[in-house]
Amino acid sequence: MQAVISAMGICEPTPIQALAITPVLAGRDVIAKAETGTGKTLAFGAPMISKIDHQRVSVLGLVLCPTRELAEQVATVLRELGKPRNVSVALIVGGEPAAPQVEALQSGAQVVVGTPGRVLDLYQQRFLSFPWTEFAVLDEADEMLEIGFIDDVRKILSYMPDERQTLLFSATFPTELLRLAREYTTEPAEIATAKGVATVANIEQEVMFVSENERVMSLIRLIEQSGEDDILLVFCARRTDVEQLMRRLERISFPIKALHGGYDQQARFRVMNAFREKEVKALIATDVASRGLDVVHVTHVINYGVPRGVTEYTHRIGRTGRAGREGRATTLVSPLDQRRWRGIVSAATWDIREVDPPERSGRRRRDDERPGRDRPRRAGSGARSSGERGERGRGSEPGGRERGERGRDSERGGREREDGRGERGRRGRGGREREERAGEGGARGERGRSRETKPAVERAADGRKERPRESPSPSPSPSPSPSPSPSPSPSPSDFGAGI
């Protein structure tokens, strides 16, 4: 057994293993309070497998789990432990065809790992019985109580011999669960690890206060700024939240999967296998995964929604920092969740650091690092740098040179038109002066013929004479003024005329 445990990469026992293995080997009932992710499976699995007689073809050990995922993982560990001793382990869970499970039972499985619903169903169909069962293990018992399995658990325990050894492991002990533990155990050894030490000692906890609109973008930036080898587990409160968040994350280039209770068993297996094989960067899940997920390489847990209480918070963040590794847990708190968050902080015994939401610069860095992003995108996408825009303005590209030349031609043409308008204006002023002089000559002639009327001539502020006012008698026609129609460009001798 020691060689098998060493082959699993375990060199030293965890606190719960050191406290629980000895009384289990001694044949005592055990009530153990231990946080999630502390190695409880080995704490009850190793001594149980070592005491089971593989030559007997009857169910000698029963392990009840709240979720299918947790049952699968417990069965995997127990099979590894049972190989050297030829102990057979059968997995009995809902959502799977019953025929293969019945066949595994009939082939002589000594240990059964399952969920209460399917175990009770097969018992009632007489495919499963417990006349010689020696071990009854309740793993994550508080979760079974919370999701309504406790009545099924009571029925199953009542079908088993009184001489059995009962092992109950839980992170918390509500009143009803404690009552059940006292009822179905005899002089149990009550053990507990120091609260919070086993779960959060190597987990860096932080909180970000964000608005509801900033929450999605903060999550996106956390994913994009994560390390290449980082694996993230994102928790949502409801299935609908998972589906909505997945739609918001569709445009991210990272592989992301979802997991919740609405998936059928095959889909859940595919998602879990992909996550274990590191084919998924981030897994968006409900609390169903917080108890049933045992993936040691999860580096970062993100609470997209604030958990209901400190117990749920503990189970969530316990998915990282496993097997002695460092972990990180981030909670995104919107204004609507602040009251619930204050309740968690007041009940917690550890420090949670407040941090600012990630900056946008991390996203730009990730975009530059992605494959296929070496070339700049089109200008409309906003990806062109300011230097490239400057090159366009200077006409560095072929099209830019043509546009730049057209721009310079337009500027020259504009200056010429302005000069032309200025010359025409000057010629117009000269024409008005000639008209005024002609008018004065006509007026003098008129005064010579008749002194009854005088043309009223006003002087402008700058000393130039303006056009004479209307005269009662017709005056000689002034010299023709330049036609308003377009005229050919003036010759050099015309410039300055009328000045």
- Predicted confidence (pLDDT) at residue 215 exceeds the cutoff of 90: yes
Per-residue confidence band for 371, with pLDDT thresholds at 50, 70 and 90: very low
- Bin 406: left if φ > 0, else alpha if -120 < ψ < 50, else beta: alpha
E-assigned strand segments in 144-276: 165-170, 189-192, 203-209, 232-235, 256-259
Residue 405 lies in a domain: no
| Residue 258: pLDDT over 50 | yes
φ, ψ of residue 193 to 5 degrees: the values are -85, 160
**Looking at 328, 351, 366, which one is the last position of a domain?**
366
Phi-psi region of 372 (alpha: psi -120 to 50; beta: other; left: phi over 0): left
Distance CA 385, CA 376 (A): 8
Distances (CA, A) of 259 to 93, 233, 289, 290: 17, 10, 8, 11
Position 225 scores a pLDDT of: 92
pLDDT, tens digit (0-9, with 9 covering 90-100), for 173-205? 888 888 899 999 999 999 987 554 445 678 899
pLDDT (average), residues 377-388: 41
User: Containing H/E element for 232?
Assistant: strand 232-235
Answer yes or no: do 20 and 149 share one domain. Answer: yes
User: Do residue 137 and residue 275 come from a single domain?
Assistant: no
CB 35 within 8 A of CB 196: yes
- For residue range 431-465, list pLDDT tens digits in order: 454 445 545 544 454 554 444 444 444 444 444 44
The larger pLDDT score, comparing residue 68 to residue 375, is at 68
Cα 417 from Cα 422, distance rounded (Å): 8
Q: Work out the average pLDDT over 85-102.
A: 93
Closest CA to 139 of 34, 52, 58: 34
Looking at the structure, tell me whether residues 183 and 220 fall in a common domain: no
Residues 129, 236: one domain?
Answer: no
In this structure, the answer to whether residues 306 and 254 fall within a common structural domain is yes
CB 153 within 8 A of CB 181: no
State which H helix or E strand residue 415 sits in: helix 398-449
Q: What's the CA angle centered on 444, arms 443 and 450, to 5 degrees?
A: 80
Same domain, 160 and 268: no
138, 166, 193 - which closes a domain: 193
Determine contact, residues 327/300, Cβ cutoff 8 Å.
yes
Contacts of residue 173, defined as CB under 8 A and 6 or more positions apart, other chains included, come to 31, 33, 142, 181
For all residues of the chain together, what is the average pLDDT? Answer: 77
Question: What was the pLDDT predicted at 19?
Answer: 92
Among the listed residues 132, 128, 131, the one whose alpha carbon sits nearest the alpha carbon of residue 98: 128
Q: What is the pLDDT of residues 391-400, one digit of tens each?
A: 444 444 444 4
Least confident of 3-12, 114-123, 272-281, 337-346: 3-12
Domain count, the chain: 2
Is residue 468 within 8 A of residue 432, CB to CB? The reply is no
* Structure confidence at residue 260 as a pLDDT band (50, 70, 90): confident
Contact 69, 292 (CB under 8 A): yes
Comparing 167 with 369, the larger pLDDT belongs to 167
Which residues in 49-184 belong to E strands, given as ranges? Answer: 61-64, 89-92, 111-114, 135-139, 165-170
What confidence tier does 311 reach under pLDDT thresholds 50, 70, 90?
Answer: confident
Q: For residue 350, what pLDDT is reported?
A: 82
Q: What is the mean pLDDT of residues 157-166?
A: 95
Residue 114 has a pLDDT of 96
The CATH number for 182's domain is 3.40.50.300
Above 90 in pLDDT, residue 167?
A: yes
Confidence of residue 329 (pLDDT cuts 50, 70, 90): very high
Query: Does residue 491 lie within any of the structural domains?
Result: no
Burial of 38 (0-12, 13-18, 19+ CB in 10 A): buried
What kind and span of H or E run contains 208?
A: strand 203-209
In a domain? residue 350: yes
Q: What is the rounded CA–CA span in Å between residue 208 and residue 302?
A: 11
Same domain as 169, residue 26: yes
Indicate the pLDDT class of residue 143, thresholds 50, 70 and 90.
confident
Residue 461 lies in a domain: no
From first CA to last CA, the distance across the chain in angstroms is 115
Of 351, 366, 381, the one marking the end of a domain is 366
Co-location of 174 and 218 in the same domain:
no
Instruction: Assess whether 126 and 30 both reside in one domain.
Output: yes
Say if 383 falls within a structural domain.
Answer: no
Neighbours of 44 (CB within 10 A): 28
Phi/psi for 306 (5° steps) reads -70, 130
* Average of per-residue pLDDT across 16-23: 92
* pLDDT above 70: residue 155: yes
Q: Give the percent of the chain with pLDDT over 90.
A: 43
Q: Burial, 61: exposed, middle or buried (Cβ in 10 Å; 0-12, 13-18, 19+)? A: buried
Q: How far from chain centre, in Å, is Cα 478?
A: 85
Residue 42 inside a domain? The answer is yes
Helix or strand or coil: residue 30?
strand
C-alpha 132/C-alpha 60 separation (Å) is: 6
Parent domain of 221:
199-366
Nearest to 281 by CA among 228, 221, 336, 203: 228
Structure token pair of residue 351: 């420090």
Q: Are residues 228 and 350 in the same domain?
A: yes
Confidence grade of residue 413 (pLDDT, cut at 50, 70, 90): low
pLDDT at residue 349 in the model: 80
H helix or E strand, kind and range, residue 317: helix 310-317
Distance of CA 476 to the CA centre of its chain: 90
Measure the CA–CA gap between 93 and 73, rounded to whole angstroms: 12
Residue 45 in any domain: the answer is: yes
Res. 148 pLDDT band, cuts 50 70 90 = confident
User: Do 133 and 212 reside in the same domain of the chain?
Assistant: no
**Residue 362 pLDDT > 60:** no
Residue 268: per-residue pLDDT: 80
**For 225-255, how does the pLDDT look when each residue is reduced to its tens digit (9 = 90+)?**
999 999 999 999 899 999 999 999 988 889 9
Pair (149, 230) in one structural domain: no
| 488, part of any domain | no
Residue 210 phi, psi dihedral angles, 5° rounding: -130, 160
